[in-house]
């Protein structure tokens, strides 16, 4: 007998928990608990809630949802539970983009003008997208999944080495890079928040539309082709969605580890569903995971903050290790 919850019921529960987390985030300040409902009587608190806490909480949820969605798509596309959104080299490309920007224009008069508008956000997004394009070029298209996977690993290693070289060549860049490498939600404003929410809506619609392709891929590529699934075109669209979701999240928050990898695992541990529901649930789970990590990052050593990427790495890695040990013990008894 199947006791797993209904996907729609689980989606509703995750959405409610996300809304509660955002309300909690709006009431948590650097000095501790400051209820947001007191803002109506204090203009200063209201401005802090509206301009800082609320966009940060909503942005953390949207960024986590983008990573969770991209992780579910990556694991479905590569048919590999260890695939994550950074598998195509987007993380290394974003890091290299930021390193180049800081090396060439950081702290220089040349950084004035339109380059300021581009900034680290634009450099990270462009770097992530170009890294994915380079992966596609090396893989000679999207026809072979294994070649695409290996090309992504190679691109990630090479671009990571170039980033390390730039950090050694320009040591002053490293301090600016640290915040990006560790990940942070502290600088998310309304512009970044609305951008991530808009991209999330677009990527979610495309992911749900492509869910039938992922369901067919679970049966194998040959079976999917025999069912009339246009695999080449489908892979292009799936990779485009993964690149857009990952690039947008990384550009706004830096490198957040394990959310995209852990969120689909949490979903599969709770419910069995088709990819149409899996991608939605992974997005909601990823948003909740990053939002909770952000609240912990703010509260553990207040008034100072921990980098949220460190917490997600520790918590996500710990969860996956627990899952692996549990699966091993169950396998040993079977």
Residue 238: CATH number of its domain: 1.10.3470.10
Residue with tokens 């019921």: 9
pLDDT confidence of 277, banded at 50, 70, 90?
very high
> Do the domain assignments include residue 92?
yes
Is residue 2 one of the residues assigned to a domain?
A: no
Q: Residue 71: what pLDDT?
A: 94
Split into its structural domains, the chain has a count of 1
HEC-encoded secondary structure of the chain: CCCCCCHHHHHHHHHHHHHHHHHHHHCEECCEECCHHHHHHCHHHHHHHHHHHHHHHHHHHHHHHHHHHHHHHHHHHHCCCCCCHHHHCHHHHHHHHHHHHHHHHCCCHHHCCHHHHHHHHHHHHHHHHHHHHHHHHHCCCCCCHHHHHHHHHHHHHHHHHHHHHHHHHCCHHHHHHHHHHHCCCCCCCHHHHHHHHHHHHHHHHHHHHCHHHHHHHCCCHHHHHHCCCCHHHHHHHHHHHHHHHHHHHHHHHCCCCCHHHHHHHHHHHHCCCCHHHHHHHHHHHHHHHHHHHHHHHHHCCCCCCCCHHHHHHHHHHHHHHHHHHHHHHHHHHC
Q: Within a domain: residue 188?
A: yes
Confidence (pLDDT) at 288: 95
In a domain, 53, yes or no: yes
Has residue 248 been placed in a domain?
Answer: yes
Average pLDDT over residues 163-179: 79
Quickly state the pLDDT bin for 204 (edges 50, 70, 90).
very high
pTM: 0.87
Indicate the range of 20-29, 171-180, 206-215 predicted with least confidence: 171-180
Over residues 226-233, the mean pLDDT reads: 78
Mean pLDDT over 228-234 rounds to: 80
Per residue in 235-266, pLDDT (tens digit) is 889 999 999 999 999 988 888 988 999 899 88
Please check the confidence at residue 92 and state whether its pLDDT lies above 60.
Answer: yes
Range(s) of the domain holding residue 115: 7-333
Domain membership of residue 201 (yes or no) is: yes
Answer yes or no: is 1 within a domain.
no
Residue 230, domain member (yes or no): yes
pLDDT given for residue 16 in this prediction:
96
Confidence of residue 334 (pLDDT cuts 50, 70, 90): very low
Mind listing the pLDDT tens digit for each residue in 109-166? Answer: 344 444 444 577 788 888 898 999 999 888 887 677 778 888 888 999 999 999 888 8
Q: What percent of the chain has pLDDT over 70?
A: 87
* Tokens found for residue 322: 């627990």
- Mean pLDDT in the chain? 83
> What is the reported pLDDT for 325?
77
- Model confidence at 1: pLDDT above 80: no
């Amino acid at each position: 007998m199947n006791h797993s919850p209904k996907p729609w019921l689980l989606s509703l529960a995750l959405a409610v928990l996300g809304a509660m987390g955002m309300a909690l985030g709006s009431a948590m300040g650097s000095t501790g608990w400051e209820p947001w409902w007191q803002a109506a009587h204090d203009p200063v608190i209201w401005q802090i809630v509206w301009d800082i806490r609320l966009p940060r909480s909503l942005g953390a949820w949207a960024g986590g949802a983008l990573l969770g969605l991209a992780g579910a798509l990556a694991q479905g596309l590569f048919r590999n539970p260890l695939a994550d959104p950074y598998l195509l080299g987007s993380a290394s490309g974003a890091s290299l983009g930021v390193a180049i920007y800081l090396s060439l224009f950081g702290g220089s008069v040349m950084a004035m003008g339109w380059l300021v508008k581009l900034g680290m956000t634009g450099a990270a997004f462009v770097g992530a997208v170009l890294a994915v394009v380079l992966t596609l070029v090396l893989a000679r298209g999207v026809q072979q999944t294994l070649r695409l996977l290996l090309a992504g690993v190679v691109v990630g290693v090479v671009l990571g080495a170039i980033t390390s070289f730039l950090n050694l060549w320009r040591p002053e860049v490293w301090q600016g890079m640290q915040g990006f490498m560790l990940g942070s939600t502290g600088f998310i404003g309304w512009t970044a928040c609305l951008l991530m929410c808009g991209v999330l809506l677009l990527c979610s619609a495309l992911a749900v539309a492509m869910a039938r392709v992922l369901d067919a891929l679970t049966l194998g590529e040959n079976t999917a082709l025999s069912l009339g699934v246009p695999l080449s075109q489908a892979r292009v669209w799936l990779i485009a969605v993964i690149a857009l979701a990952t690039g947008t999240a990384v550009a706004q928050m830096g490198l957040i580890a394990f959310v995209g990898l852990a969120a689909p695992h949490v979903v599969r541990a709770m419910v069995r569903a088709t990819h149409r529901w899996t991608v939605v649930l992974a997005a909601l789970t990823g948003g909740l995971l990053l939002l909770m990590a952000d609240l912990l990052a703010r509260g553990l050593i207040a008034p100072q903050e921990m980098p949220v990427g460190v917490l997600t790495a520790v918590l996500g890695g710990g969860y996956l290790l627990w899952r692996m040990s549990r699966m091993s013990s169950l396998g040993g008894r079977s």
